[in-house]
Amino acid sequence: MADKILKKLNIKVWRQKNAASKGKFETYTIENISTGSSFLEMMDILNNELIEKGIDPIAFDHDCREGICGTCSLYINGRPHGPDTEVTTCQLHMRKFKDGETITVEPWRAAAFPVIKDLVVDRTAFEKILQAGGFISVNTGGVPDANAIPVAYEDAEEAMDAAACIGCGACVAACKNSSAMLFVSAKVSHLAKLPQGKVEAKKRALNMVAKMDELGFGGCTNTGACEVECPKSISITNIARLNREYLGARLSK
Amino acid sequence: MSKFLAASIGRKFLMSITGLFLVAFIAVHLIINLMLIFDDSGELFNLAAHFMATNPVIKIMEPLLGLGFLIHILWSFYLEYQNWRARPVKYNKKDASTSSTWASRNMLVLGALVLVFLIIHIINFFWVIKFEPHTLDTVIIGGEEMEDTYTLVSNLFKGSVAYCIFYILGGLLLGFHLSHGFWSAFQTLGINNNHWMKRWHVLGYIYAVIVAVGFSVIPLYFLIKF
Ligand code: HEM
Ligand code: SF4
Ligand code: FES
């Protein structure tokens, strides 16, 4: 399929100088964008044009640009990572948009993710949650023999599925309550499902949830929006597991 | 305990337990109410209502039920307020319908409307039966004298199309609330996994439809028949 050219697009984007300033939307026009280019390439082209005009380029997060690092964000046309499923913003292509369209680009919105500049938000809150328990501290020795510790196939699969989380924060951005439950449940699950992680499972669930609450994320009301918008399709059954782990840990304490 | 309820999952736990308690109550309530349309003489419903009013188990459950409602309602407003605060700056453009159902996003709206219904419903029937029983006629069924609750209920529906529609709407609203609430309660309690996800959703929809249809069919019956 040959790439088409989008003759004209209006990019309505959130501009904010720094964390303290108020911020507002600006609309820029951009012409002749190939449908084969990625959304971030379009943003790069737009930024070049802005620089030539002497306007401060739009700040946005990006790193690997291949959907594995979790750095890119952007709330595009009302959806985190834009109008496509199972992709990050860096993997989103311009063929998903129509010629002449106005594309609204906003940062993740959550009390726990304050805007630093334009579309860049501070996601340190996720690091803090991980520091509260997203690790194992038992000594597992050197590299063990394969199959020395048997792990059931289903457990391994579920752990690997949960471990696919790249920590992008789209779940928080998608949630009407800005809840971080999908992220936390993925991080709790991928360890809780494996023998090495079981040792500290209870403490981990309690501490990570306590940290999540402390940082100002909202509570889960099971709308399921997070799973749909998650680029890695992390299942909300992980949230059920986190609820189970947490309630169990509370009861046995 | 207070520490448990301060945590997000603890708070949700209380919501789901009270919700499931109300789910059980609504099931019993519906079964009793359906007797209204299966015996036009009113005997069946009067007997059931009398049994409920005098049964010691029900008497113990009554204040518990009031408490359940109160906690569920007050707590829901508090939790939604907290969730609302977690996003101080709102989005300019939202496309929420691609990723979640309308009911799941509007549980408080649905709940609050159910609350409006509930208040008027209590004034209509519960209040009269409980605190003004002398205003009711009595009937003698099987040699026992009891309040004629059937006439109280059927007169309201026979005499007012507006009330019939109001009660139909009440049933539908509760059905919508439960279309999300039912499965959500089990998810909150952690009683869910890949296999049960689908099952809870299906069971929830079935229960919600039974509640919505079951409750609205009663005023509809009086509307059409009388
Ligand atoms: C009368 C006013 C009511 C209000 C204001 C209300 C409000 C709410 C709210 C805000 C939620 C949380 C939404 C969520 O977690 O997604 C909720 C959940 C729920 N409600 Fe209600 N509700 C009411 C009545 C009822 C009734 C009568 C029933 C049962 C027949 C019921 C059953 C449930 C259930 C099962 C849940 C799910 C709990 C969970 O997700 O853990 N509610 N309600
Ligand atoms: S759960 Fe999904 S949406 Fe949330 S941080 Fe992980 S990868 Fe991103
Ligand atoms: S830039 Fe790494 S996932 Fe998008």
Instruction: Return the DSSP state at A89.
Output: G
Could you give the domains of chain B? 2-225 (1.20.1300.10)
Q: Quick one: pLDDT at residue B20?
A: 98
A114 touches chain B (CB under 8 A): no
For residue A224, tell me if it sits in a domain.
Answer: yes
The mean pLDDT of chain A is 96
Q: Quick one: pLDDT at residue A149?
A: 84
Q: Is A139 found in the same domain as A237? A: yes
Q: Is the CB of A188 under 6 A from ligand 2?
A: no
Domain's final residue, options A79, A106, A133: A106
How confident is residue A1, by pLDDT bands cut at 50, 70 and 90? low
Q: What is the spatial distance between Cα A119 and Cα A73, in angstroms, rounded to a whole number?
A: 8
Domain's final residue, options A78, A106, A134: A106
What CATH number is associated with residue A222?
1.10.1060.10
Nearest CB to A223; choose among B84, B105, B192: B105
| Single-letter residue type at A164 | A
Q: What residue ranges line ligand 1, CB within 6 angstroms?
A: A 221-222; B 12, 15-16, 19-20, 22-23, 26, 72-73, 76, 80, 107-108, 111-112, 114-115, 118, 174, 177-178, 180-182, 184-185, 188
| Contacts for A163 with CB less than 8 Å, ≥ 6 apart | A186, A190
Number of domains making up chain A = 2
Where in the sequence is the domain holding A97, given as residue range(s)? 5-106
In 3D, which of A99, A105, A124, A127 has the Cα closest to residue A30? A99
Give the CA dihedral A80, A83, A84, A90, nearest 10 degrees. Answer: -60
For residue A114, tell me if it sits in a domain.
Answer: no
Chain-chain contact of A111 with B96 (C-beta, under 8 angstroms):
no
Q: What is the spatial distance between Cα A212 and Cα B132, in angstroms, rounded to a whole number?
A: 51
Q: Quick one: pLDDT at residue B1?
A: 65
The tokens for A6 are 């989008």
**Which residues of chain B are under the pLDDT cut of 50?**
none
Instruction: Return the DSSP state at A26.
Output: E
Q: What percent of chain A has pLDDT over 70?
A: 100
Q: Is A148 found in the same domain as A96? A: no
What ipTM, to 2 d.p.? Answer: 0.94
Checking if the pLDDT of A195 tops 70, the result is yes
Give A184-194 pLDDT, tens digit per residue: 999 999 999 99
| Single-letter residue type at B109 | V
CB-based burial label for A251 (10 Å; 0-12, 13-18, 19+) = exposed
Q: Is A95 found in the same domain as A134? A: no
Give A108-158 pLDDT, tens digit per residue: 999 999 999 999 999 999 999 999 999 999 887 788 777 788 899 999 999
Length of chain B: 226
Helices (H), chain A: 39-52, 124-131, 153-163, 170-174, 181-192, 195-198, 201-214, 225-229, 237-251
Q: Quick one: pLDDT at residue A139?
A: 85
